């Protein structure tokens, strides 16, 4: 499975490279976020039927076979060595460094819960800082999910039989 997926990813990246377009340019053409476009190319996201024609228009090199593969639910994973890559390591470091504070603010503003990792929008933008240096802006826009109290009456698998 993983080797087949890798071959498809290599083909998709080749199509993207041949287009000469950036992920941001493809995102602008499709109405997707640049990170979601990258996820599609890396087979970490599922290409939806309504989006396929938009992506084909942005990447004319996509074959029917590649679009068919992208339309299947992906095998979402990552290689453990990926954490060694400096940009990914630093992102992980930033989340670990700010994580407790972010969690406290989420709990303070929303209550006991978490941010969804499934219902998430993510984008990367480039801006100029006050000092004139380029800055990376990573926006993670996730749905809030509240933790529920575990009442047995609410557990459908334990629903009590009604007595007549």
CA 110 to chain CA centroid, nearest Å:
23
Among residues 93, 104, 135, 146, the one annotated as catalytic is: 93
Among residues 76, 77, 90, 135, the one annotated as catalytic is: 90
CB 94 within 8 A of CB 102: no
Active site residue 19: no
**The tokens of 140 are what?**
């993670």
What is the DSSP code string of 48-98?
Answer: PTTTHHHHHHH-TT--HHHHHHHTSPP-----GGGGGSHHHHHHHHHHHHH
Active site residue 43: no
Q: Which residue has the tokens 């109290």?
A: 149
Active site residue 90: yes
Q: What is the largest CA-CA distance in the chain?
A: 76
Among residues 71, 77, 116, 154, the one annotated as catalytic is: 116
- Active-site positions? 90, 93, 116
């Amino acid at each position: 499975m993983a080797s087949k997926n890798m071959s498809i990813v290599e083909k998709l990246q080749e199509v993207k490279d041949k287009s000469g377009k950036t992920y941001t340019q493809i995102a602008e053409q499709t109405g997707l976020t640049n990170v979601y476009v990258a996820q599609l190319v890396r087979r970490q996201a599922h290409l939806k039927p309504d989006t396929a024609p938009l992506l084909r228009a942005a990447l004319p090199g996509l074959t029917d076979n590649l679009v068919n593969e992208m339309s299947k639910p992906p095998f979402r994973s990552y290689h453990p060595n990926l954490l060694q890559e400096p940009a990914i390591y630093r992102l992980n470091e930033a989340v670990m460094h700010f994580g407790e504070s972010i969690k406290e603010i989420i709990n303070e503003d929303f209550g006991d819960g978490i941010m969804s990792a499934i219902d998430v929008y993510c984008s990367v933008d480039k801006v100029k800082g006050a000092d004139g240096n380029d800055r990376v802006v990573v926006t993670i826009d996730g749905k809030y999910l509240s933790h529920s109290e575990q009442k047995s009456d609410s557990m459908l698998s334990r629903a009590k039989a009604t007595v007549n």
